[in-house]
């Protein structure tokens, strides 16, 4: 996995997301159409990766796109844990949410 300017794994190599600056310690990750930010964050947490729904950072809720999350790369001390979290996020992006209501 590529590393950023701090020697941490690069988020773009695992998820396709791009930080505002190459050495940024956090990134904004737009989600595929099948995911909503809060649901994605909850599912990521259940798998061991903490991300924050994008709506937590928006002031204007009318203009808010709920399909984004913020990933902070500096909350873990080691590159191995960051890489593990990014791999969880990458796998989750490629998946579809599990239906919360049974279909009969």
Domains and CATH numbers, the chain: 11-93 (3.90.1150.10)
CA dist list (Å): 98 to 15, 37, 40, 92: 20, 14, 11, 11
Whether the Cβ atoms of residue 32 and residue 68 lie closer than 8 Å to each other = no
pLDDT per residue over 29-59, tens digit each?
999 989 999 999 999 999 999 999 988 877 7
Q: How confident is the model at residue 66 (pLDDT cuts 50, 70, 90)?
A: confident
Give pTM, 2 decimals. 0.71
Angle, to 10 degrees, between the axis of helix 37-47 and the axis of helix 79-93?
Answer: 130
């Amino acid at each position: 996995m590529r590393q950023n300017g701090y020697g941490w794994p690069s988020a773009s190599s695992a998820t396709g997301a791009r930080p505002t600056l190459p050495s940024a310690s956090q990134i904004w990750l737009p989600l595929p159409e099948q995911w909503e930010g809060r649901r994605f964050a909850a599912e990521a947490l259940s798998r061991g990766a903490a991300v924050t729904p994008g709506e937590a950072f928006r002031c204007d809720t009318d203009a808010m796109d709920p399909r984004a999350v913020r990933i902070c790369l500096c909350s873990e001390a080691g590159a191995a844990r960051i890489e593990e979290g990014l791999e969880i996020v990458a796998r989750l992006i490629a998946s579809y949410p599990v239906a919360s209501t049974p279909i009969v």
